[in-house]
Amino acid sequence: MAMCPICNNFQTINVRCPECGRAVQDQGRVSDFFDDYSPYMEVDELKLEDGYPTDFKDSQCPHVFYCDACHQEVLFFIGEWQ
């Protein structure tokens, strides 16, 4: 089973806003925003329905990052550890 190093606080990542170049803040996995119960559901099952056809196969965890300066959301795929 793969594990996201960001979700599990083993690693941090610095992502820059494509609009203004400032650092953006990690808001968590994309699937956590689906509904009230999605943060408690099986991660791999959610990946099969999240709209990103290769994130399960490629062991990637899609995260949403937000820029406080220009209010942009950035999607970034985090490589999971095996």
Structural domain boundaries of the chain?
A: 1-82
Distance CA 70, CA 36 (A): 27
Look at residue 31 in the predicted model and tell me its pLDDT: 86
Place of tokens 């099969």: 48
Look at residue 34 in the predicted model and tell me its pLDDT: 84
For the chain, the first-to-last Cα distance in angstroms comes to 6
Query: Which regions in the chain score pLDDT beneath 50?
Result: none
Look at residue 65 in the predicted model and tell me its pLDDT: 97
pTM: 0.85
Output the furthest CA–CA distance in the chain (Å, rounded): 37
